[in-house]
């Protein structure tokens, strides 16, 4: 056997060494890929968890926005059915958002419980793979995250899509309210314009009546003066009966307007 080994060619020895090195490198590469994959899964888990926290804050703010304006929605619905439909759509989308967030929270809780159980059973956790000790605490949650990862990412995608629908519903409600305010302002302007025109007509009619009244007063005073002069022949403005009749006729022919 020793003689056979000594008779091996250098090429055969080199090939054997290269095969062993390739096998070792393949094992190291697989371990590195595994560790990197678990690290990425762990980071992805915490990103989803942080996103869920933001989702809940956003949903709470949106829900407060809906609950703070029921009177406006009822008022819009009484005047225009479109406003009520927009509010109903917004409320429906908010309900769907709440359900998705609850389901996502259940998946995260399930992953945390599985990681806790795995760590308790092992004592240290992570005996299923050869990883450095500083990564063992994180690989527990990463391995528990992988079974629910697909469902969780699908829920995140649906949540983002519903967020776009919420934004569209908000824009629809805002647009409806803007149109309603514009309609109200236009009606107020038309009503004020009608009142101004009516007031101008009334003022003009009153001016005409005042002009007629002034003319009537002037004619009455002038006629009284003529009668007084006729009854007092010694007055300096005495007029003959013919002149008086002519003056009275002229006064009667005056246009009262």
pLDDT bracket for residue 96 (50, 70, 90): confident
pLDDT bracket for residue 71 (50, 70, 90): very low
Higher-confidence position of 210 and 229? 210
pLDDT bracket for residue 79 (50, 70, 90): very low
Contact 159, 97 (CB under 8 A): yes
Match 């995608």 to its residue by tokens: 157
- DSSP H or E stretch at residue 24: helix 10-67
pLDDT bracket for residue 251 (50, 70, 90): low
**Cα separation of 239 and 235, whole Å?**
9
Higher-confidence position of 32 and 251? 32
Q: Which of 13, 40, 14, 160 is nearest to 100 (CA)?
A: 160
Contact 42, 145 (CB under 8 A): yes
Contact 159, 100 (CB under 8 A): yes
**Cα separation of 84 and 134, whole Å?**
57
User: Which pLDDT score, from 0 to 100, does residue 36 have?
Assistant: 79
Label residues 176-193 b or e (16+ Cβ within 10 Å = b).
bbeebeeeeeeeeeeeee
Terminal C-alpha separation, the chain: 146
- Quick one: what percent of the chain has pLDDT higher than 70? 67
Across all residues in the chain, what is the average pLDDT? 74
């Amino acid at each position: 056997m020793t003689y056979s080994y000594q008779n091996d060619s250098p090429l055969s020895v080199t090939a054997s060494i290269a095969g062993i090195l390739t096998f070792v490198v393949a094992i190291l590469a697989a371990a590195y890929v595994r560790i990197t994959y678990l690290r990425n899964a762990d980071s992805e888990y915490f990103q989803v968890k942080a996103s869920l926290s933001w989702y809940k804050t956003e949903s709470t703010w949106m829900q407060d926005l809906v609950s703070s304006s029921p009177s406006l929605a009822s008022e819009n619905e009484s005047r225009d059915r479109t406003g009520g439909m927009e509010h109903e759509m917004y409320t429906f989308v908010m309900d769907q958002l709440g359900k998705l967030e609850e389901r996502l929270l259940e998946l995260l809780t399930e992953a945390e419980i599985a990681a806790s159980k795995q760590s308790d059973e092992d004592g240290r956790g992570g005996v299923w793979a050869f990883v450095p000790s500083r990564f063992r605490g994180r690989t527990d949650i990463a391995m528990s995250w992988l079974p629910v990862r697909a469902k969780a990412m699908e829920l995140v995608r649906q949540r983002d899509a519903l967020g776009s629908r919420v934004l569209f519903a908000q824009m629809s409600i805002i647009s409806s309210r803007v149109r309603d305010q514009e309609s109200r302002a236009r009606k107020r302007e038309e009503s004020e314009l009608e009142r101004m025109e009516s007031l101008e007509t009334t003022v003009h009619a009153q001016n005409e009546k005042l002009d007629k009244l002034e003319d009537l007063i002037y004619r009455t005073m002038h006629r009284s003066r003529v009668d007084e002069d006729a009854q007092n022949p010694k007055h300096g403005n005495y007029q003959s009966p013919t002149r008086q009749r002519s003056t009275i006729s002229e006064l009667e022919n005056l246009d009262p307007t």
